[in-house]
A and B are shown apart, each in its own frame.
Chain A
Amino acid sequence: MTTNQGIGAAVLRKEDRRFLMGKGQYVDDMVLPNQTYAAFVRSMYAHAKIRRVDTTAALAAPGVVAVFTGDDIAADGLGGLPCGWLIKNKDGSPMVEPAHPALAQGKVRHVGDPVAMVIATSKAEARAAVGLVEIDYDVLPAIGLLADGVKPGAVLVHDEAKGNLCYDWHIGDPAATDAAFAKAAHVVELDLTNNRLAPNPIEPRAAIGVYDIAADHHTLYTTSQNPHVIRLLMGAFTLHVPEHKLRVVAPDVGGGFGSKIFHYAEELMVTWAAKKVGRPVKWTADRSEAFMSDAHGRDHISHARLALDAGGKILGLQVSTLANLGAYLSTFGSSVPTYLYATLLSGPYDMPTIYAEVKAVFTNTVPVDAYRGAGRPEAAYLLERLMDKAARQLGVDRIELRRRNLIRPEQFPYQTAVALQYDTGNYQATLELALKQIDHASYDQRKAESAKRGKLRGFGISTYIEACGIAPSAIAGALGARAGLYEAATVRVNPTGSVTIFTGTHSHGQGHETTFAQIVADKLGMPVDNVDVVHGDTDRILFGMGTYGSRSAAVGGSALIKALDKVIDKGKKIAAHLLEASAGDIEFKDGTYRVIGTDKVKAFGEIAFTAYVPHNYPIETLEPGLEESAYYDPKNFTYPGGCHLVEVEIDPETGVPEVVEVAIADDVGTIINPMIVDGQAHGGLAQGIGQALYEEVRYDAEGQLTNGSFMDYCMPRAADLPNFKVGNHVTACTHNPLGVKGVGECGAIGVPPAVINAIIDALTPLGVTDISMPATPEKIWRAIQAAKANKGA
């Protein structure tokens, strides 16, 4: 009964039934008595001075309850949206942190910047009145493209950010790296762009604010990955209410991928406005609104140089990156291109020295922040494109070059040149497993068969690593994080032995209601149906930092283990009393307490009942009840990694690429539920292939968003993707009790360079040496034509 539902079992998901029956409760599904509807007046300009906002006509419109502007929130002292991570410049000075008001004050800085909030008795009336708010703008020149932001004389997005720089940061040893390049036999150079992406969870963001005048208490229902973080930020920085007066609930949330981590203006505004109008205020984004208000991801321009010796061993790496932060600092925007990116530039390779510089740039675009992978995909893409170019330049096989440079198992723990210490891994094993899964030995036959059909076949490889389990608080704090990043869990054993657990992580597709129940099932020896998992409500869960950075199992699961251990230990004392033995002589196994070496036993349920009905109980030394809480702060990051292999076919006449084979082998540490782990990999792969082939948020030079809808922003659909071959080679994390590393982001990190490397491989015979993401048919076709013209010349 118990062994097949514990850690390692492919248990079907407990949460599925409500979703399958249409009974999920997402924020937009909620209707509160007397609720009103909010709609936002958003800037159509990328950069403009606001001369005047006239709300008279909107206020007179049918159904309109209130209209608020930047002046109203300023008068009430609402704080600006804060940034959670302080980055320091090369000279030690702090980054520039311009104000980020929830409604624009004096200036708008990107298309979609909210200027006013209209509240009406129906959604239709609110939307109709948006068009009646009159705003006089002085339109200013704008920075729509990252590269333009750092040009001499560029228009300033914020007056205080000279040269549009938020910070000019670096990591590594420049002198040692220069020395490595001085003695290199080969230097490989590459210019790269990492395309700007929209996370696009299918559920748009939504929020409902409620104010209870009798209790002077606020409730916010919001589409968040981390309700406690939102409460913390609203309490301390934006709404300025004490935490016991603010409850934040994130019910069922329809995907996040990072974009629902951040504290957004709209959730602050509905909470504030609910008190102002004395009624609940609800807002739901439509998709075009989401494109111009959800944080975007990626958007880097980099120059990279790799130094190698004559034998193809890496000597050093130099990287210079421009990172787009958008118009304002989002909650974690500053950390992504620094500590989540440059610290990963050693990849899975033994790299003696690294020096990386990152200039973070304000532009007149939507803020950029963490999106699935967050910094790590940018690092993996840069390294893996470089490795392939190095292999071609040195005339070494691509797989062989990686084999020569991968960190060997005996080198762990491995200290990189960029601050991180990898605890464990076996990159050779994942490489070999992936090659076996794709049957690389027979690749030439497949290539010949493609050629018969007139198709160019290419093979692409990427060996990658990520840092997950965010985060060891002391290390993160030393690097500029303004909050601890531990996790909390409570285990409440109910009187008849069923269990309710409360976790500070949040599930929005990851299946925690199942995997966390499996951890309990494994430890306490009970079926998962006896375990209920509660998440997403600051009134029910003591604390938590939420779900992102593949942290839930590694940090939240570890907190749960600690709380379970406390429960088991307390149970031992109760069992010792009942069995008239010493607690040291009691063992707990398979749901039963036993006096070691005897047949004297008590079932877990009996102990729970005794704890709550303590008629026969060690009442002088032990409190009744069986409920324990624990906090867990990780000692280190976790380091999942692996190898992703892709085969593409390209039609040389049209340039249309097709991903025909994807085989991956990851090391995500101990696997709690293989079905869910594979599913996480699949989803990441789809988004990674999306980045490589389809997706790009496009701004023009004037800052207009030109593809802000699902009609225009291309995401992979079912017919665009093949089946995925997913394998795992487990080396258990050495520093958390479960041995887990994290799986949520691997697909999005490893696969984009593998796809592009495969495309370049397919086109190499034609003379094509570079292609940028997304590799659209047009780009590929043009690259083929250009290469042909070159050959002809």
Chain B
Amino acid sequence: MATIKLKVNRQAHTIECASTTLLVEALRDHLRLTGTHVGCDTSQCGACTVHVDGKSVKSCTMLAAEADGTEVTTIEGLATGGELHPMQAAFREHHGLQCGFCTPGMIMSATDLCKRVPDPSEHEVRHWLEGNLCRCTGYHNIVKAVRAGAAGMRGGK
């Protein structure tokens, strides 16, 4: 067993779990933050993407114990109050989601991109998102949404 202290969405938590528990399992099963999804067993789909100390990470590739002492942000921590984050708003505005299952991972990955590259080109967006699979949208509207979300984030909203 392991005892892990970390902050998730600005709240401090102590989690008691098996040392083999993955970060995604700690988030979903221990903290009931089920917006972070699991779509594969091989770190291919990216549905579980969260931020660990500000960087996007596939939470199925990381043990919960490795997240000890970190600050984690999940999709639930992105909106402030009831107001959508600019990237969330852009996904809605540009129909960048259909079934919604890959969406949290897409958004967490995209917000990290836009922190690194404030005005990404279409090419940069498409290549950055290669770790996130979507089966519904054909990516067309996701790419539009990410570029619009980048503009929203630059606007400081």
Contact = CB atoms under 8 A, between A and B. Distances in A.
A685 B122 CA distance: 19
Given A510-B98, A685-B138, A718-B142, A13 B39 contact: no
A710 B130 contact: no
B15 interface: no
Interface in B34-88: 34-42, 44-45, 47, 74-76, 78-79, 84, 88
A202 B126 contact: no
A739 interface: no
Contacts of A716: 138-139
B129 to A, nearest CB: 4
B39 A675 contact: no
Given A202-B47, A255-B98, A12 B34 contact: no
Contacts of A257: 135
Contacts of A13: 92, 95
B12 interface: no
A253 B18 contact: no
Interface stretch (A96-104, A588-596, A676-684): A676-684
B134 A721 contact: no
A636 to B, nearest CB: 28
Contacts of A15: 100
Contacts of A710: 40, 42, 44-45, 133
Contact of A287 (B18, B39, B101): B39
Interface string A281-320: 0000011100000000000000000000000000000000
A17 interface: yes
Contacts of A20: 75, 79, 84, 88, 91-92, 97, 100, 103, 107
Contacts of A682: 137-141
B4 interface: no
Interface string A668-704: 0000000110110011111100000000000000000
A683 B103 CA distance: 14
A128 to B, nearest CB: 11
Nearest to B93: A12
Contacts of A718: 125-127, 129-130, 132, 134, 139, 142-143
Nearest to B92: A16
B136 interface: yes
A675 to B, nearest CB: 5
B99 interface: yes
B137 A679 contact: yes
Contact of A202 (B33, B91, B134, B139): B134
A232 interface: no
Contacts of A214: none
Contacts of A675: 95
A21 B97 contact: no
Contacts of B134: 202, 718
Interface string A327-360: 0000000000000000000000000000000000
Nearest to A22: B35
Contacts of A288: 41
Nearest to B101: A254
Q: Range of interface residues on chain B?
A: 35 or more
A203 to B, nearest CB: 4
Contacts of B103: 19-20
A395 B110 CA distance: 50
Interface in B80-124: 84, 88, 91-93, 95, 97-104, 107, 122
Q: Range of interface residues on chain A?
A: 35 or more
Interface string B3-35: 000000000000000100000000010001111
Interface stretch (A26-34, A425-433, A730-738): A26-34
Contacts of A286: 41
B88 to A, nearest CB: 4
Given A26-B101, A254-B99, A21 B92 contact: no
A203 B140 contact: no
B141 A253 contact: no
A683 B39 contact: no
A13 B98 CA distance: 9
A509 B100 contact: yes
Contacts of B18: 124
Contacts of B130: 717-719
A24 B95 CA distance: 17
A231 interface: no
B76 A255 contact: no
A22 B74 contact: yes
Nearest to B33: A22
B130 to A, nearest CB: 5
A28 B37 CA distance: 9
A21 B75 contact: yes
A201 B101 CA distance: 9
Contacts of A252: 99-100
Given A257-B135, A685-B138, A719-B127, A16 B40 contact: no
B141 A287 contact: no
A715 interface: yes
Please indicate which of the listed interface residues B36, B38, B40, B101 has the most CB atoms of chain A within 10 Å of its own CB: B101
A22 B101 contact: no
B95 to A, nearest CB: 5
B35 A686 contact: no
B140 A724 contact: yes
A615 interface: no
Nearest to A681: B138
Contacts of A717: 129-130, 132-133, 139
Nearest to B34: A29
Contacts of A21: 35, 75-76, 78-79, 84, 88
Contacts of B79: 20-21
A649 to B, nearest CB: 16
Closest 6 CB pairs of A and B: A22-B35, A19-B100, A254-B101, A686-B138, A509-B99, A22-B75
6 contacts: A19-B97, A20-B92, A22-B33, A255-B136, A679-B137, A721-B126
Given A15-B100, A679-B136, 6 more contacts: A21-B75, A26-B34, A202-B45, A255-B98, A683-B136, A717-B132
